[in-house]
Structure 1
Amino acid sequence: MTYRLGLTGSIGMGKSTTAQMFRDLGHPVWDADEAVHRLYAEQGAAVAPVSAMFPTALAGGLIDRAALKQVLAQDPSALARLEGIVHPLVARDRQDFIDMHADAPLVVLDIPLLFESASPPELDGIAVVSTDKQTQRARVRARSGMTDDTFAMILARQMPDADKRARADWIIPTDTLEGAKNAVEAILGKVIPHA
């Protein structure tokens, strides 16, 4: 039986680095953001339905995320319509990944907005990556094109870190790589006793 571990955390908390730690240890990781990129790419399953609803988002045979953001900014009701198209496609992509790795002892599902989702997937456990606010802000501000306003807008859409930590089965502290690695190995020791 494959153990399905949800991996989540707010922006700048170190989720991508932590997900890579699981990969490096040989565990398959499904990434929700990568799934959306695939769906929006040329020949992606979301291109036809999204472009039919939002024609200005289509550019060169794929969904232009910047153009789509403009549409969403101009029409607040558009987000629900977009999610109605994309969420089922993402869920199918995730299930296909789980099915493909049915023999794996552990599958990690990297879902940034896991707790914010209206219909979260069925999971066996949830790990939240976390660090202090100063480290989080420094990491986010180091990203290309990131502004304080954009950071504040993203945080406003995410559940506060303290609430995520309270709902987690495990907390992975990402203040140091060593601490994160130790936490990942501790989780593996619990869910895969022979790991």
Structure 2
Amino acid sequence: MTKIIGLTGGIGSGKTMIANYMQSKGVPVYIADDEAKKIMKSAEVKELICSEFGDAVLKDDNIDNSMLAKLVFNNPDKLQKLNGIVHPLVASHFEEWLKKHSDFPFIIKEAAILFESGSFKKCDAIITVIAPLETRIDRILKRDKTDRESILKRIENQWTDKEKMSKSHFIIRNITKKETINQVDEILKKLNNQ
């Protein structure tokens, strides 16, 4: 039976870099956020989102993710409604994807809100990526067109590193790329030997 290894961490912790590295090592990686974005492009889901949040979230007939983020990250009820639309569809897509990778001893399911969504309960082990707050903020400022205040609001909507670490089997401290890769290699070695 293929084991599901959850990979999570707060925004800007470096999950994507780690997921890409694992993929380069031949490990199948499911990136939940990427799949959610694809799902949100379907006509059916766009309609559901627009009926919930209004046409203001549309831009060029697509969901304007930055507008939607502004609406939901300041409002837990709206965030819950959005998650109620998207999460069940991502969960069902993941189950189909998992069937196609059932010949692997384990796969990685990368999700920013693995704990918050409750999907960690279906994982056989969890890897949490952590990094100092200022490092995370710096990374996000360089990557996204956003501001410090918006980043801090998004961080407030996620579990703290301490909460995540208490439920994790492996912790990656992502400060320098070389040290991080060494930690990932160690974890992969352990997972391959289980």
For 2:84, the equivalent position in structure 1 comes to 84
Q: How many residues align?
A: 193
Tell which deviates more after alignment, 103-112 or 128-137: 128-137
SS at match of 2:104: coil
Q: Deviations over 1:73-123 (max 9, x none)?
A: 797643333222211101111111111111112210001011222454501
Q: 1:126 is matched with which residue? A: 126
2:140 maps to amino acid = V
Whole-Å Cα distance in 2 between the matches of residues 140 and 76 of structure 1? Answer: 22
Residue 146 in 1 paired to residue 139 in 2?
no
TM-superposed deviation, 1:71:
4.9
AA in 2 matched with 1:51: C
1:21 is matched with 21
Distance 2:138 2:69 in 1: 25
The aligned residue for residue 103 of structure 1 is 103
1:36–1:9 CA distance, 2 compared to 1 (3 A): same
Q: Distance in 1 between matches of 2:98 and 2:122?
A: 11
1:170 matched to 2:170? The reply is yes
| Between 130-139 and 168-177, the greater mean CA deviation after superposition | 130-139
Supply the distance in 1 between the matched residues of 2:48 and 2:62 (Cα, whole angstroms).
11
2 CA distance for matches of 1:97 and 1:40?
A: 18
CA contact (8 A) 2:73 2:79 kept: no
Task: Answer 1 or 2: which has greater helix percent.
Answer: 2
Match of 2:32 in 1: 32
**CA separation of 1:121 and 1:72: change in aligned 2, threshold 3 A:** same
2:165 corresponds to which letter in structure 1?
Answer: R
Residues 29 and 107 in structure 1, CA contact (< 8 A), matched pair in contact too: yes
In structure 2, the CA distance between the partners of 1:151 and 1:46, relative to structure 1 (3 Å rule), is same
Offset at residue 185 of structure 1 (A): 1.6
Query: Structure 1 pair 135/46, CA: closer, same or farther in 2 (3 Å)?
Result: same
2:164 counterpart SS class:
helix
Q: Deviations over 1:123-158 (max 9, x none)?
A: 110001112233223222323322111111011111
Structure 1 residue runs without a partner (length 5+): none
Q: Distance in 1 between matches of 2:3 and 2:75?
A: 40
TM-score by length of 2: 0.87
Unaligned runs of 5+ in 2: none
| 3-state SS of paired residue (1:128) | strand
Label 1:69 to 1:20 Cα distance change in 2 as closer, same or farther (>3 A): closer
Query: Once superposed, what is the RMSD of the aligned Cα atoms?
Result: 2.3
- TM score, norm. by length of structure 1: 0.86
Change (3 A) 1:96 1:44: farther
- Residues 53-64 of structure 1 correspond to what in structure 2 (within 5 A)? 53-56=52-55, 57-64=57-64
Give the C-alpha shift of residue 64 in structure 1.
2.5
Specify the SS of the correspondent of 1:46: helix
